[in-house]
């Protein structure tokens, strides 16, 4: 089985474009010690390093929340925009329409995404806007002191003993239903799985949703929470083991077709999924929705690549944008003069 690209050895190895791991870092985190969001930040840094992305080709986006603070903690040399609460998708869509050669990574929370930002989130998904969307899901509004969010499971309790009696919104099921072409669920405490899923998201063209359970150690890590480290560790069920082979490395190993599924991504990279307990094909939408429903009823925390469709055209292709990004076109090409406008008006008469 081929492994994901390697981390640097002690002493500081460079990646394929000659950068060190530290070139992908950001500012010092100000989050609580042990917060799941910091663990995700480390894996984002590692993934962009391993893939060999040029930091200046990345745009980092977020809304409001502890999770939305994290783009400050990775890729210091990338572009960045911290939007208002729940409005990151609109900003990301605008950035990608202006320059579709960038790689967009948006980080949001379950509050930012599944409540105030829900309207924006669903339209991002149905448009298939090219963006890696990392949903740091802790079941609470961490920044405003731990109220239940819309992804909290019914029956789970707050530290105060308050019981959640509302149903949870499953953002992965929603994304699959709305046609998102890369949908994965993972855990902040499982870097072995999270890194190849992030690498695959970098190689995908379209919206890539990663719903990552990310425990809030201050407000939602107690007995009775279904988003705690302990609960996630005890109930995690892996759909498969995930490996990533970047486009610049050939697949040299023979696969046993019965055991391993290989998915070719937009950029020529491959994701390999090695079967564990159950038969599962992530290219089958109905099957993906079925396993999600089933696992919810069983109280399992199902992780892995739930659904993938690398062929689905993204928003910039649907809009038939020119190869040259709009942001770089000469003003006379993007701002038609009075004569051109008059000609259009005449045609409409």
Which of 109, 206 has the CB closer to Mg ion? 109
Q: State the maximum Cα–Cα separation within the chain, in Å, rounded to a whole number.
A: 71
CA pair distance 306, 282, nearest whole angstrom: 5
- CA nearest 303: which of 159, 196, 156? 196
Applying CB under 6 A, does 198 fall inside the site for ligand SF4? no
Applying CB under 6 A, does 227 fall inside the site for ligand SF4? no
Question: What DSSP state is assigned to residue 217?
Answer: T
In whole angstroms, how close is the CB of 11 to ligand SF4 at the nearest point? Answer: 33
- CA nearest 219: which of 30, 28, 34, 29? 34
Task: Identify residues 97-116 at the interface with ligand TPP (CB under 6 A).
Answer: 109-112, 116
User: Considering only residues 141, 148, 229, 231, which one is a binding residue for ligand TPP as defined by CB under 6 A?
Assistant: 141
Applying CB under 6 A, does 31 fall inside the site for ligand SF4? yes
Task: Return the number of other C-beta atoms located less than 10 Å from residue 309's C-beta.
Answer: 18
Binding mask 139-158 for ligand SF4 (x = CB under 6 A): ---xx---------------
User: Considering only residues 149, 156, 186, 193, which one is a binding residue for ligand TPP as defined by CB under 6 A?
Assistant: 149
The rounded Cα 44 to chain-centroid distance in angstroms is: 10
Whether the Cβ atoms of residue 165 and residue 215 lie closer than 8 Å to each other: no
Which of 36, 310 has the CB closer to ligand SF4? 36
Alpha helices in the chain (DSSP H): 36-51, 66-69, 88-98, 110-111, 118-127, 171-177, 191-203, 229-235, 285-298, 315-318, 331-334, 338-348
Residue 198 binding: pick among ligand TPP, ligand SF4, Mg ion, none (C-beta 5-8 Å cut-off by kind): none
In whole angstroms, how close is the CB of 144 to ligand TPP at the nearest point? Answer: 5
Residue 218 binding: pick among ligand SF4, Mg ion, ligand TPP, none (C-beta 5-8 Å cut-off by kind): ligand SF4
Whether the Cβ atoms of residue 139 and residue 113 lie closer than 8 Å to each other: no
Could you give the 3-state DSSP secondary structure of residue 343?
A: helix
Applying CB under 5 A, does 138 fall inside the site for Mg ion? yes
Applying CB under 6 A, does 222 fall inside the site for ligand SF4? no
In whole angstroms, how close is the CB of 111 to ligand SF4 at the nearest point? Answer: 10
Question: What DSSP state is assigned to residue 113?
Answer: I
Applying CB under 6 A, does 205 fall inside the site for ligand SF4? no
Applying CB under 6 A, does 189 fall inside the site for ligand SF4? no
Task: Return the number of other C-beta atoms located less than 10 Å from residue 266's C-beta.
Answer: 17
Applying CB under 6 A, does 219 fall inside the site for ligand SF4? yes
Return the range that interacts with Mg ion (CB under 5 A); candidates 28-36, 49-57, 133-141, 227-235.
133-141
Contact residues toward ligand SF4 (CB under 6 A) are 31-32, 35, 37, 66, 138, 142-143, 216-219
């Amino acid at each position: 089985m081929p492994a994901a690209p390697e981390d640097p050895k002690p002493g500081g190895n460079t990646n394929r474009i000659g950068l060190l791991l530290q070139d992908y870092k950001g500012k010092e985190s100000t989050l609580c010690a042990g917060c799941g969001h910091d663990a995700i930040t480390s894996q984002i840094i590692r993934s962009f390093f391993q893939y060999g992305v040029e930091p200046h080709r990345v745009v980092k986006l977020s809304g409001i929340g502890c999770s939305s603070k994290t783009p400050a903690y990775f890729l210091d040399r990338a572009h960045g925009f911290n939007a208002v609460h729940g409005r990151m998708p609109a900003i990301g869509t605008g950035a990608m329409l202006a320059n579709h050669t960038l790689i967009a990574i948006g980080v949001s929370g379950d509050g930012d995404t599944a409540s105030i930002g829900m309207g924006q989130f669903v339209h991002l998904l149905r448009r298939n806007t090219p963006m890696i969307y990392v949903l740091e899901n802790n079941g609470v509004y961490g920044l405003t002191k731990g109220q239940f969010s819309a992804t909290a499971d019914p029956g789970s309790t707050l530290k105060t003993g308050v019981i959640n009696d509302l149903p949870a919104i499953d953002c992965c099921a929603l994304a699959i239903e709305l046609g998102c072409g890369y949908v994965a669920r993972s855990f902040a405490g499982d870097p072995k799985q999270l890194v190849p899923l992030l690498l695959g998201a970098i190689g995908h063209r379209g919206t890539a949703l990663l719903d990552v359970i990310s425990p809030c150690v201050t407000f939602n890590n107690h007995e009775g929470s279904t988003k705690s480290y302990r609960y996630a560790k005890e109930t995690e069920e892996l759909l498969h083991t995930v490996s990533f082979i970047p486009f610049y490395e050939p697949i040299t190993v023979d696969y046993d077709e019965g055991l391993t599924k290989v998915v070719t991504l937009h950029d020529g990279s491959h994701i390999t999924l090695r079967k564990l307990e159950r038969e599962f094909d992530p290219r089958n939408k109905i099957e993906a929705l079925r396993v999600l429903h089933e696992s919810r009823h069983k109280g399992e925390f199902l992780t892995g690549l739930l659904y993938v469709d690398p062929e689905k055209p993204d928003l910039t292709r649907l809009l038939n944008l020119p190869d040259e990004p709009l942001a770089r076109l000469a003003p006379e090409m993007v701002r038609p003069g009075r004569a051109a406008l008059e000609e259009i008006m005449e045609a409409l008469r």
